[in-house]
Amino acid sequence: MKAKWILNVLALVMVTMLAVGCGGEKKEETASAPAEEKAAPAAEAPKGEIVLGVAGAHSGDLASYGLPSVNAAELVAEKINAEGGVLGMQVKVVPQDDECKPEKATNAATKLLSENVTVVLGHICSGATKAALPIYKESKIVCMSPSATNPPLTQSGDYPNFFRTIASDDAQALLGVNFAKSLGLKNIAVIHDKGDYGKGFATFAQEFIDADPEINVVLFEGVTPGAVDYSAVVQKIKNSGADGVIFGGYHPEASKIVSQMRKKDLTIPFISDDGVKDDTFIKVAGDYAEGVYASGPMDISANPLYQVALDAHKAKYGTEPGAFYYEAYSAALALLNAIEKAGSTDYDAIVNALHTEYVETPVGKIKFDAKGDAEGVGFSMYQVQNGKYVELK
Amino acid sequence: MDYFLELFFGGLTRGSIYALVALGYTMVYGIIELINFAHGEIYMIGAFTGLIVAGVLGSLGFPVLGILFVALACAVVWSAAYGYTVEKIAYKPLRNAPRLSPLISAIGMSIFLQNYVLLAQTSDFLPFRKLTPDLGFMQPFRSFLSSSEIFIIGATAVVCVGLTLFIKYTRLGKAMRATAQNRKMAMLVGVKVDRVISATFVIGSALAAIGGVLIASHIGQINFYFGFIVGVKAFTAAVLGGIGSVPGAMLGGLVLGWTEAFATGYVSSDYEDVFAFALLVLILIFRPEGILGKDSTQKV
């Protein structure tokens, strides 16, 4: 029965081995903001009140994206009311849940209209926003999203009543392409991971490059995530004569591709997106990561208003704010500021003020361009220098 | 021509890894007609063992080649232990059960091992240090053949030759061939069948571990999911070459590696997998037993 004895020892070994070793750091999930009561006073808003509708996912699996906006709106309203309100009127926040579902978003929009909203902060998800926008447009209500990044929402020009305080998906690709141009690159290989995010980024990059006669796409290809190695695609990049690579995707693929490029003495610039602007990328790619460019959200933590918004949230709710909190805080500030500057709650006056008047917000000093995207909000280019991402100014 | 050579060596490297892992599939199938779906995870565990050992030795300041050999040895031993234990726990009790039961048990084992490593280690990607020394004389060629690729190709060649000789000339090899031919008859003439099966799992796992450590050192990163795709590809390679046949697994691995490399190079990497699996379908249509597989007549 020697075999049995060996078996027992092996089983024991199996259970204990690998339990020690190189356990990684565990990331704590930040608790989502406390659930908000749905306020639904049906009474008609009396004159002398600004009704700030807040639409988005306040329940369901995406609630963690929507609830921080409600908190942000409440905090901004409280602050402004304490300072005497807007044009002498108090601000009332009216949340309306859409669960990020387009069919509920139209209901939410109608409901908000019946509550006589002055302006709307929301919606949260691009799909829901798109469904609700025509309703607001018809009733001439300004709508500002902190989180809907789908490019056509602003770029199609269909919704002059729509604004946002977050950069759209293509802004990053445009930044990447312009950056590549500024490096003097002419022939660019655009590589992606075939995923929604990576391929979307790459497709936008390709469109921007095609629109520019000075630069060309010499290679546009997807790689299979998790493949054993990428030497064939690296050879292909080399063979295409590209003098730069733009990659759309996440860091595991990026680190493999960059490492193999560098090992094959291919030292052309590698430009990527915020899926790669991640410290794990530097950890995994090690020395090969040096000099890699990746865009990521601008660092706003130096902005004093960022700290104000953060402190206000901690003081009232006792937690760290959740997703899109600063964008929502900024949107609420921008909306109320526009009403103040316009001197009335008239639609055209508010829209005009949004386009022309600067406002100080946690995401920066912003106004909105002709299409409704916040100017100055968005992405910066970072470069790995000495094992750290450094923002390039 | 340069481009062709670059792709050729890229495909050869990739194919070598497939071949190393495919050997485990094909040997196990040859002996007990079981597809050991946990084999990809054994490969992943080999790579993790290599990571841990290399990390410890690296911090103690060992030379690169020393680290490589110790890490390989440890990975081989650990993976072999896992292979042995997996067989004892998940397959042996089902030796006489219907064919489907051990197959499901294999899939369960694969998921179990993946999650075990996920919980014990981390879901993050971990950097893997380079274990192969730079070969100075390779400098002019390094743009299409790096030192780690030479190590992978070389190790695979050595392993294939060694394994072939082992099966041909040793007593255990003979017993393995006998068991593969007819398990009951082998038992009757005194072959300790259980021991042969265990040995098969141990050898297959050891080969996978070598592949795991070498490729992890080549690409520089691993995570718990690292074995899954390679497992699927190596299984494909084994079927392509003729499952149950040792030279078939080697050939299947190389053919698959080259198919992927040339498809990427001359068509598009978007279609890498499409070409690989289209090839599989074609082979199975025109030669169902695989390239080197034997056309086994069903025993009555």
10-residue block means of pLDDT along chain A (393 residues)? Answer: 63 55 39 41 57 92 89 94 91 93 93 93 91 93 91 89 90 92 94 89 93 93 87 90 93 91 90 89 91 90 90 91 90 94 92 92 90 87 93 85
Helix (H, G, I), strand (E, B) or coil at B124: coil
CA distance, residue A14 to nearest chain B CA (Å): 7
- Around Cβ B204, how many Cβ atoms within 10 Å? 28
Identify which of A228, A232, A263 has the shortest CB distance to residue B269. Answer: A232
Chain A: residue whose CA lies nearest to B18: A228
- Judged by CB atoms closer than 8 Å, whether chains meet at A24 and B124 is answered as yes
B120 touches chain A (CB under 8 A): yes
Of how many residues is chain A composed?
Answer: 393
| pLDDT tens-digit series, residues A242-301 | 999 999 998 889 999 999 899 888 899 999 998 898 888 999 998 999 999 999 888 888
A367 contacts A330 by C-beta, under 8 angstroms: no
B270 touches chain A (CB under 8 A): yes
- Around Cβ A143, how many Cβ atoms within 10 Å? 30
B75 contacts B213 by C-beta, under 8 angstroms: yes
Strand pairing category for A379-385 and A388-392: antiparallel
Task: Tell me the chain B residues in contact with residue A235 when contact means C-beta distances shorter than 8 Å.
Answer: 3, 6-7, 10, 144, 265
A·B CB contacts under 8 A? 141
A210 contacts A177 by C-beta, under 8 angstroms: no
Identify which of A11, A231, A252 has the shortest CB distance to residue B221. Answer: A252
Identify which of B149, B229, B270 has the shortest CB distance to residue A222. Answer: B270
B180 touches chain A (CB under 8 A): no
- Six-digit token pair at B259? 């198919």
CA distance, residue B250 to nearest chain A CA (Å): 17
CA distance, residue A67 to nearest chain B CA (Å): 29
d(CA B223, CA B48): 8
Identify which of B55, B85, B230 has the shortest CB distance to residue A10. Answer: B85
- Judged by CB atoms closer than 8 Å, whether chains meet at A251 and B125 is answered as yes
- Preferred mutation among B78, B85, B254 to probe A, highest tally of A CBs within 10 A: B85
- Six-digit token pair at B195? 């021991």
Task: Tell me the chain A residues in contact with residue B215 when contact means C-beta distances shorter than 8 Å.
Answer: 228-229
Chain A: residue whose CA lies nearest to B134: A263
Interface of B with A in 24-53 (CB under 8 A): 45, 48-49, 51-52
- Judged by CB atoms closer than 8 Å, whether chains meet at A232 and B52 is answered as no
pLDDT at A36: 41
Identify which of A13, A229, A284 has the shortest CB distance to residue B81. Answer: A13
ipTM of this complex:
0.87
- Six-digit token pair at A153? 């929402």
d(CA A226, CA A234): 15
Task: Tell me the chain A residues in contact with residue B149 when contact means C-beta distances shorter than 8 Å.
Answer: 231
Chain A: residue whose CA lies nearest to B48: A18
Region label for B225, one of left (φ > 0), alpha (ψ between -120 and 50) or beta (otherwise) = alpha
| pLDDT tens-digit series, residues B134-187 | 776 666 666 678 888 889 999 999 999 999 999 999 999 999 999 998 888 999
The mean predicted confidence, pLDDT, of chain B is: 90
Task: Tell me the chain B residues in contact with residue A288 when contact means C-beta distances shorter than 8 Å.
Answer: 220
Radius of gyration of chain B from its Cα atoms, rounded to whole angstroms: 19
Q: Which residues contact B101 (CB under 8 A, 6 or more apart)?
A: B94
Residue given tokens 């990447």 in the structure block: A176
- Judged by CB atoms closer than 8 Å, whether chains meet at B265 and A255 is answered as no
- Judged by CB atoms closer than 8 Å, whether chains meet at B121 and A235 is answered as no
B235 touches chain A (CB under 8 A): no
- Around Cβ B198, how many Cβ atoms within 10 Å? 21
| pLDDT tens-digit series, residues A206-215 | 999 999 999 9
A7 touches chain B (CB under 8 A): yes
A227 touches chain B (CB under 8 A): yes
pLDDT at B299: 47
Chain A: residue whose CA lies nearest to B148: A263
- Preferred mutation among B1, B6, B79 to probe A, highest tally of A CBs within 10 A: B6
- Six-digit token pair at A85? 């309100």
Chain A: residue whose CA lies nearest to B2: A239
CA dihedral B242, B247, B253, B259 (to 10 degrees): -80
Per-residue CA distances from A189 to A67, A256, B212, B292 (Å): 41, 16, 31, 40
Q: Residue B255: in which H helix or E strand, if any? A: helix B246-262
CA distance, residue B297 to nearest chain A CA (Å): 36
B84 touches chain A (CB under 8 A): yes
| pLDDT tens-digit series, residues B38-64 | 999 999 999 999 999 999 999 998 898
Task: Tell me the chain A residues in contact with residue B146 when contact means C-beta distances shorter than 8 Å.
Answer: 263-264
- Judged by CB atoms closer than 8 Å, whether chains meet at A259 and B219 is answered as yes
Task: Tell me the chain A residues in contact with residue B52 when contact means C-beta distances shorter than 8 Å.
Answer: 18, 21-22
- Around Cβ A178, how many Cβ atoms within 10 Å? 13
Q: Which of A351-355, B17-21, B109-113, B130-134 has the lowest mean pLDDT?
A: B130-134
- Judged by CB atoms closer than 8 Å, whether chains meet at B45 and A13 is answered as no
A145 contacts A57 by C-beta, under 8 angstroms: no
Q: Please write down the HEC assignment for all residues of chain A.
A: CHHHHHHHHHHHHHHHCCCCCCCCCCCCCCCCCCCCCCCCCCCCCCCCEEEEEEEECCCCCCHHHHHHHHHHHHHHHHHHHHCCCECCEEEEEEEEECCCCHHHHHHHHHHHHHCCCCEEECCCCHHHHHHHHHHHHHHCCEEEECCCCCCHHHHCCCCCCEEECCCCHHHHHHHHHHHHHHCCCCEEEEEECCCHHHHHHHHHHHHHHHCCCCCEEEEEEECCCCCCCCHHHHHHHHHCCCCEEEEECCHHHHHHHHHHHHHCCCCCCEEECCCCCCHHHHHHHHHHHCCCEEEEECCCCCCHHHHHHHHHHHHHHCCCCCCCHHHHHHHHHHHHHHHHHHCCCCHHHHHHHHHHCCEEECCEEECECCCCEECCCCEEEEEEECCEEEEEC
Q: Which of A28-42, A217-231, B86-100, B249-263 has the lowest mean pLDDT?
A: A28-42
Q: Summarize the confidence of residues B221-242 as an average pLDDT.
A: 91
CA distance, residue A9 to nearest chain B CA (Å): 10
- Around Cβ A392, how many Cβ atoms within 10 Å? 13
- Judged by CB atoms closer than 8 Å, whether chains meet at A235 and B7 is answered as yes
- Around Cβ B123, how many Cβ atoms within 10 Å? 13
- Judged by CB atoms closer than 8 Å, whether chains meet at B127 and A229 is answered as no
